Structure 1
Amino acid sequence: MVRLENVTLKRTLGMWAIVGLGLGYMTPTVVFDTFGIVSKETNGLVPLAYITALIVMALTAISYGKMVKVFPSAGSAYTYTRETMNPHLGFLVGWTALLDYLLLPMVNALIIRIYMVALFPEVPAWVWVVVYVAIVTAFNVWSMRNTSNLNAILVIFGTVLIGAFVVLAIIKLMQGMGQGTVFTTEPLFHSNLQLGHILTGATVVCFSFIGFDAVTMYAEEAKDDKTLPRAIMLTVLLGGAIFLIGAYFSQALFPDNSKFSVVDDPLPEIGYYVGGTLFKLLFVAGGFAATAASGLASHASVSRLLYVMGRNGVLPRKLFGYVHPKFRTPVFNVILVGLVSLLAISPSLELISAVINFGALIAFTFVNLSVIAYFIFRQKRYKTKKDIFSYLIMPILGAGSTGILWYNLHVDALIGGIVWVGIGCFYMLFQTKLLKRNITVLDYEAEQKI
């Protein structure tokens, strides 16, 4: 009989399965869902906002790749900060990261709600949210392998639809729609360009890239630890390329939001203007598939972050650190995330996506700082120019760039994030009896023997 405390996550994921989960998490079609919001923020320079965000994410991805080699455990920014700096600080970073991890599955449910209400306005919105959340939760309880396989199918379908959009967009541009030309610099630069607006837009699109760091949550389910650094960078580059292509052609076709009746999520209207009613239905189906894939991946990731925090005793171990002996999944956490996702019945996409970025950018900043803390201060890796560049200059650039984006966050996101951090501080003080005792630090060597 298997003892429950010895039940661990199962290693079933290869590199491309992890990349697929990362791309699924990133939701390639989200570039069309948020296009209206970002176009308004940037004065019609959505691709430039994505380029800015991609540079920041690439710098941070390099730091993630370094840290996942040192700490091949689920937990991401929470684990790295706790192990390289301070357990209390690690908890606060993990708590802050929970904000975006918990809300992203809800965003996916919210987008699905928007799609289905547009197609079937007579059906109450809450019905679609409940059905969608129930299906995603059931798949995540069942097994990680089946979740990965379904995610791969949905990602491929969504990507094919984006390819079809590009072909139709080229035809429409050649026929005179929008800018009237396939090759134009208007989506990247024009006289109304303002750096502050671009940075604000970049903070909005940052949550589209969250999937690259979420793949570190599968560290304990990867067949080979060496594949994770490559999977992280591939996820960033492939996802970024898809976002840039989608944003460029959308901006070339729609220089402003004047054609959209629903700016909060213009994907259905973009599909209609490019390919008529039939393509609108197919495009919504592609968006639905990509969003469902993101729902599966994001649901799985946050469940594993909660699992690590529970296993370490930061959260109640009996509940959050529990792995089902048959399914080998953190069942309680999966169900809890499903319950949180039900809140998608009412909020707006713009508000939730803004709040998500607060937690994401804090986590990204501390991953970069953890590289410096571990390699420079602990390992003393500063004796060669290569080490100084790799372990000091690069992470400083990464931390600085994420800090700039954080500074340009929407006011509502800052307020919501600060309130969440405040709750975390009170919880930590309670958990540590006013900091009189430490939060448990994970023993990696002991864990590898399990």
Structure 2
Amino acid sequence: MEQKAVLQRRLKLWHIVAMGVGYMAPMAVFDTFGIVSEVTAGHVPAAYLLTIAAVLFTAMSYGHMVKVYPSAGSAYTYTRQTLGPHAGFMVGWVSLLDYLFLPMMNALLTGIYLSSAFPDVPQWVWIAGFVVLITTLCLFNVNVSVSVNALFVAFQFLVVALFVVLAAYRLSAGGEALVSAQPLLSADASWGALLTGASILCFAFLGFDAVTTLSEETVEPRTTIPRGILWITMLGGGLFFTASYFAQRLFPDVSVLNNPEGASAEIALALGGVLFQSVFLAAALTSTLASGLVSQLSGSRLLFAMGRDRTLPGPVFGYIHRSLGTPVFNIVLIGLISLTALVLDLLVATSFVNFGALTAFTFVNLSVIIHYIFREKQRSWLALLRYLLLPLAGIGFVLFFWTHLERNSLMLGGAWTLLGLLYLLWMTRGFRREPGTIRYEAAEGSG
């Protein structure tokens, strides 16, 4: 009988929280600040509060499902078990967009940051170096990756804390009160603008999705992962809200900035001079490194789950290296895909990531309703609240976010979905078989 490949359980709660927050890239709060401030007319903190409320519904759904299926695969596994293997494959296929292209985004951002600081060095050098470093770290025991990631996250929190201290000092020195309702509520605020801002910011909260792919490597995942999801959402949300609040107090009108779409460098320079701007750049780099590390780890685990189920070629995607204990082929593959940062731009990568993330969010909420309400027939008032009304609220917010996707996201995501559907048709011989029933005899026989 063929032995099922499994991952070893090594991760604890602090590991999960560090990985999730690292995936969220805390320094990204300053990269999006200028754009969202323009959209919301100077109410970025209020948009963050709305975003936290919106994503909490979906975060709770992830927590419910990991208690039932504490294995690698995340939305793919939950959908496969509740809606069937065909739907599960398609959700897994589309979710791959998130995990395959986020490492590429981080590689590209690293190239942009370092090229601006060292213009004499070609950007491709930084991109290639980033990909090699992240791929190498991911190949080792998962605890190595987690420890490195925790250091990156700690440094980013320190820089944000330093920013808050400097901002509070600047406000106090200028005779302004530290507490003001202006960034949260004013005559210029509108629900439509705040919701639009939230649709931009929601993608900063993908960390809770990523850590569910590590369930199979987590000690007591049924309790650890749901607690981790809550900590990730609240810690990340608290950092985003606090940083954006003080940034908005300093710059209530971002039109004074030369480049609102790249506001972080100007904010740092205005607040602490060239030295603090250099510290900000270092934190931005650790942000891309941490996010790139976790996204490559998570993506390799999703590919592993699909390979183990044989919805992708099992001998390659379902392989675990005996001594390293990691899916090495998947890690290297994502590293190679990340090298597309040499030729693709940030808009294409963002379009893929957004489409994949919203697909996963939608089907995880649906999976909760199907599993608890229809399969387990939990119909008490409390169950209806937890497993029907709250997931429906999550779906409602996600549908709103869907309506705000850019045309590129819909077109590129739709093309990828069509490609997956064609592969599914071939694999199942026109839906006459279940996904994963094809045996890759030639590949298996050669091993």
Q: TM range, normalised to the smaller chain?
A: over 0.9
Write the deviation string for residues 69-117 of structure 1: whole angstroms up to 9, x where unpaired: 1001111111111101121111111112111121211121122122111
Q: Contact (CA 8 Å) 1:271, 1:284: kept in 2 or not?
A: no
Write the deviation string for residues 197-218 of structure 1: whole angstroms up to 9, x where unpaired: 3323222212211011111111
**In the alignment, does 2:41 pair up with 1:46?**
no
**In the alignment, does 2:325 pair up with 1:328?**
yes
Shift of 1:350: 5.2
Shift of 1:403: 1.3
Q: Distance in 2 between matches of 1:414 and 1:53?
A: 22
TM-score (norm. length: structure 1): 0.92
Q: What secondary structure does 2:252 align onto?
A: coil
**In the alignment, does 2:261 pair up with 1:285?**
no
In the alignment, structure 1 segments of 5+ residues that lack a partner are: 442-450
Q: Distance in 2 between matches of 1:269 and 1:346?
A: 28
RMSD: 2.0
**In the alignment, does 2:249 pair up with 1:252?**
yes
Q: Distance in 2 between matches of 1:265 and 1:74?
A: 36
1:303 aligned to which of 290, 300, 303: 300
**In the alignment, does 2:112 pair up with 1:111?**
no
Q: 1:263 to 1:429 in 2, by over 3 A?
A: farther
1:134 aligned to which of 126, 132, 135: 132
Q: Contact (CA 8 Å) 1:204, 1:353: kept in 2 or not?
A: no
2:313 aligned to which of 309, 313, 316: 316
Specify the alignment match of 1:410 in structure 2. 406
**In the alignment, does 2:366 pair up with 1:376?**
no
1:205 aligned to which of 196, 201, 204: 201
Write the deviation string for residues 2-49 of structure 1: whole angstroms up to 9, x where unpaired: x99555312111111111111111111111122223223333322222
Specify the alignment match of 2:70 in structure 1. 72
Q: Distance in 1 between matches of 2:352 and 2:197?
A: 14
Q: Distance in 1 between matches of 2:237 and 2:266?
A: 23
Q: What secondary structure does 1:72 align onto?
A: coil
- Once the two structures are overlaid, the 10-residue window that deviates more, 407-416 or 359-368, is 407-416
**In the alignment, does 2:215 pair up with 1:216?**
no
- Once the two structures are overlaid, the 10-residue window that deviates more, 300-309 or 348-357, is 348-357
Count of aligned pairs: 436
Seq. identity, %? 45
Specify the alignment match of 1:430 in structure 2. 426
Specify the alignment match of 2:58 in structure 1. 60
Q: Contact (CA 8 Å) 2:351, 2:412: kept in 1 or not?
A: no
Q: What secondary structure does 1:186 align onto?
A: coil
Amino acid at match of 2:420: G
**In the alignment, does 2:143 pair up with 1:145?**
yes
Q: Distance in 1 between matches of 2:178 and 2:421?
A: 52
- Once the two structures are overlaid, the 10-residue window that deviates more, 273-282 or 406-415, is 406-415
Write the deviation string for residues 179-235 of structure 1: whole angstroms up to 9, x where unpaired: x54323332234443433332322221221101111111111012222111111111
**In the alignment, does 2:181 pair up with 1:195?**
no
Q: Distance in 2 between matches of 1:440 and 1:299?
A: 24
Q: Contact (CA 8 Å) 1:7, 1:328: kept in 2 or not?
A: no
Write the deviation string for residues 130-153 of structure 1: whole angstroms up to 9, x where unpaired: 001100000001221100010111
Specify the alignment match of 1:9 in structure 2. 7
Q: Contact (CA 8 Å) 2:11, 2:218: kept in 1 or not?
A: yes
Q: Distance in 1 between matches of 2:269 and 2:342?
A: 26
- Once the two structures are overlaid, the 10-residue window that deviates more, 66-75 or 44-53, is 44-53
1:271 aligned to which of 264, 268, 271: 268
Q: Distance in 1 between matches of 2:86 and 2:5?
A: 27
Amino acid at match of 2:86: H
